[in-house]
Amino acid sequence: MQDLWGSFQAAFALIVQMDADLAEIVLLSLQVTTAAVLIACLLGFPLGALLAVGRFPGRAILSVLTNATMGLPPVVVGLLVYLMLSQSGPFAVLNLLYTPTAMIIAQVILVTPIVAALTAQVVEDLNVEYDDLLRVMGASRLQTVTTLLWDARASLMTAALAGFGRAFAEVGAVMIVGGNINHVTRVMTTAIALETSKGALALALALGIVLLMISILINASLMALRSSTRTTAHA
Amino acid sequence: MMRGTVLAAVVAAIPFMSQAADEFIIVQSTTSTQNSGLYDAILPRFTQSSGIEVRVVAVGTGQALKNAANCDGDVLLVHAKEAEEQFIADGYGLQRHRVMYNDFVIVGPANGPVDLKNTTTAAEALRAIAQSQTPFASRGDDSGTHKKEQALWSSTDLDPSDQSGTWYRETGSGMGATLNIAVGMDAYALTDRATWLAFENKQNHKIQFEGDPALFNQYGVTLVNPAHCTKVKIEAGAEFINWLLTDGQDAIARHTKDGEQLFFPNAR
Amino acid sequence: MPENNILPFRQSDDPNTRDVIIQAEDLYISRADRNLLSGVSFAITQPGITTLLGPNGAGKSLILRLIAGLMMADSGRLSIVPSISNSLALVFQTPVVLRRSVHANLNHALKIYGTPKSERVGRIAELLVLADLTSLAQTPAKRLSGGEKQRLAMARALAARPKLLLLDEPTASLDPHATAAIERLTRSAAASGTKVILVTHDRMQAERMADDVLLVHRGRIAEHTPATQFFEAPTSEEGRTFLTGQILL
């Protein structure tokens, strides 16, 4: 319990001082995760909509795959991306291993199924309401999908936030493909793992508290944004 | 509005993707060197004098060897002599150089059930632990420390892997994680001295056995073989190794924790 | 749009059927051993407001959905003049509005109908005036009252100046004031040449609106007569029963 109290004090001190190293780690965490979630949304929103309203062979299989990959262990994803990007792997020529880009790739793989599956659920529900209308209007498949996605935007933000949460808190995959290299690929979670292995539990927990606070801040501000777009909704 | 946000975030993500213009090498290394703060202490000096950035990937020795064999590093710095020699024999590395040493110690609860004070060899100490069935936390991860521990057990004629899951606990984790577990369950553990001295979660654990020559822990450095890995940065890697074996020796000797020296340079 | 259900129309020489735009012959739909439509035949002519009248569950909405192309009959034949089937709009009992402003709802519809961007602004303004929604243009459609939502749905349906307007109990959940507004919009659409098919269970509304009445009962057409005749002297037993206010069984 001494550790716990010490951690809160340490976390507070860390935030107040916000030294360059910590700022760098926090910034990299945010950049990697934000980029990963954006890409995952660009892939996952249309994929989810397709799963919800598309009628094509293999849709059921794709749907099962999407749901199953939601639960992929990060370490497995990390290993997979490592094997792809390793100098003895097929994409060696890209020289991406141990870079933030490699971490983004791993997180995109982790987050896209979550965003896609949640999107499919949301769009399917909305389509029950809109289907007849859009069909009578003669909307094309593309118009249908874009209409549904835009009108589901509030729920899609929740899907994106779920993805953000998974990516931001993830350690196993980014550790393997990023290498936790100081000043290059060290992010909040790998720094926490490192401090834990040093036995510096209070510092590790303090970093965890900082992580949590950033997470809360982001969620709260997006929720605020969401409710403000609701009140002033216009195209 | 949403499009604007996307754009802003993508733009924010660009700078770090295009960085790393300066020359750098990747060192596949064991965790003990990183966890004890050695790299933080010595690498800035090398980078300052050479202009070469050193990116350390600290993993267990087993994984470091594997990564280096996959050409995902330029330099290998680990502590498992036989495995390193095999690495070179397999054509993955050029020549192994001794860099520094310290020693392994057996740590355990201060008022533990086994008195290791009067034991003189590590083998005796392990035998005493096994006989008392006191929990022992093993790395179990094919790391340098794990390899050493296995070698010590084989000198006792005991095979603790039969007891795995009872008093013999294989953590399958790094040194630090294994120490956290040992502290948590009042278990003994074999660790390198540097990691132990730098470890901040000792609680009631203390060094219970040390000093047997069998516990000698030699670190070696090897340049990855450019004949096997064409992209190896030979010159920068060799420059780093040369520095470790010359000017770096002094830097290693001066790295201490609470007044105690953690690694002893022995390149010459 | 189920193509095979909507056949090219055979123009008749008979002066009585010259203006027929929709012809149904012997339509059947059954679900779970129950006949929802059993042998429905009718011919709907232009212009005016045709009312599908009948109690709940008679099959009125089903007929409307067939005409809209949202479903297909199990058997039978439904023919619609192609220029009509390509230009129809449907308003539902429960108004479906998009999660956007009133203005954006209309803009979205015009976009789907292929109205050029330059013409949309002016057309939206017209529609807002028509449906008396100008002051609510920027309000999220989900925040509108039931009557306002249905006016928006009407404005959206009329956005592309459809040749055929299908109304499925559009006022069933509205108060008299809101009902009057929808009826006004319906009449003005009909007056400007849009053919209207109105499904209702409300005989008063049918009497106010209809040019001709199709009385639907138990999945059949009980009678199809001009409104004046229907409300004076219905030709069918069901018609007489319905008008006396008794429950049709």
CATH number at residue A209: 1.10.3720.10
Give the tens place of pLDDT for each residue, C72-96. Answer: 999 999 999 988 888 999 999 999 9
CA angle, A38 then B21 then B220, to 5°: 105
Within chain B, which residues score under 50 in pLDDT? 1-4, 6-7, 9-11, 13-21
Tell me which architecture the domain covering B23-102+216-265 has in CATH.
Answer: 3-Layer(aba) Sandwich (3.40)
CA dist A218 and A224 (Å) reads: 10
Give the tens place of pLDDT for each residue, A194-217. Answer: 988 888 888 888 889 889 998 999
Has residue C5 got a pLDDT over 60? no
Q: How many domains, in total, are found in chain A? A: 1
Tell me what percent of the residues of chain A surpass a pLDDT of 90. 66
Which chain A residues contact residue B9 at CB under 8 A? Answer: 34-35, 38
Å between C89 CA and nearest CA of chain A: 7
Q: Where are the alpha helices (DSSP H) in chain C?
A: 60-68, 82-85, 102-112, 117-130, 146-158, 176-191, 203-209, 227-232, 237-243
Whether A155 is in a domain gets the answer: yes
Written as six digits, the tokens of B51 are 């202009």
What's the pLDDT at B4?
47
Cβ contact C92–A133 (<8 Å): yes
Whether A103 is in a domain gets the answer: yes
Q: Indicate the domain borders of chain B.
A: 23-102+216-265, 104-215
Using CB atoms, which residue from B13, B55, B72 is nearest to A86?
B72
Q: How confident is the model at residue C160 (pLDDT cuts 50, 70, 90)?
A: confident
For the question of whether the overall pTM of this predicted structure is more than 0.80, the answer is yes
3-state helix, strand, coil in chain C (%, to 5): 40, 25, 35
Helices B81-89 and B144-154 sit at what angle, rounded to 10 degrees? 110
Question: Radius of gyration of chain A from Cα atoms?
Answer: 20
Average pLDDT on A133-141 reads 93
Whether A104 is in a domain gets the answer: yes
Average confidence score pLDDT of chain C: 89
Cβ contact A98–B57 (<8 Å): yes
Task: Answer yes or no: CATH 3.40.190.10 is held by domain B104-215.
Answer: yes
Whether A84 is in a domain gets the answer: yes
CA dist C198 and C166 (Å) reads: 6
Place of tokens 């339509």: C27
Distances (CA, A) of A209 to A7, A164, A168: 8, 17, 13
Give the tens place of pLDDT for each residue, A8-59. Answer: 787 788 778 877 888 899 999 999 999 999 999 999 999 999 999 988 888 9
C and A touch per CB criterion (3+ pairs under 8 A): yes
What's the pLDDT at B211?
92
Written as six digits, the tokens of B72 are 């995902």
Helices B144-154 and B122-132 sit at what angle, rounded to 10 degrees? 80
What's the pLDDT at C1?
39
* C137 Cβ contact list (under 8 Å, min separation 6): C101, C102, C103, C124, C128
- DSSP string across C180-243: HHHHHHHHHHHHTT-EEEEEES-HHHHHHH-SEEEEEETTEEEEEEEHHHHHHS-SSHHHHHHH
Q: How confident is the model at residue A235 (pLDDT cuts 50, 70, 90)?
A: very low
Written as six digits, the tokens of C181 are 């507004």
Containing domain of residue A81, as a range?
20-234
Å between A199 CA and nearest CA of chain B: 5
Q: What is the DSSP letter of A182?
A: T
CA dist A188 and A178 (Å) reads: 12
B and C touch per CB criterion (3+ pairs under 8 A): no
What's the pLDDT at C211?
93
What's the pLDDT at A22?
86
Give the tens place of pLDDT for each residue, A146-158. Answer: 999 999 998 999 8
Whether A193 is in a domain gets the answer: yes
CA dist B255 and B38 (Å) reads: 7
Find the closest chain C residue to A144 by CA distance.
C112
Using CB atoms, which residue from B9, B40, B231 is nearest to A87?
B231
B90 contacts chain A (CB < 8 A):
no
The ipTM of this complex is 0.86
Whether A156 is in a domain gets the answer: yes
Place of tokens 């959206």: C156
Mutation target for B interface from A82, A181, A196: give the one with most B CBs within 10 A.
Answer: A181
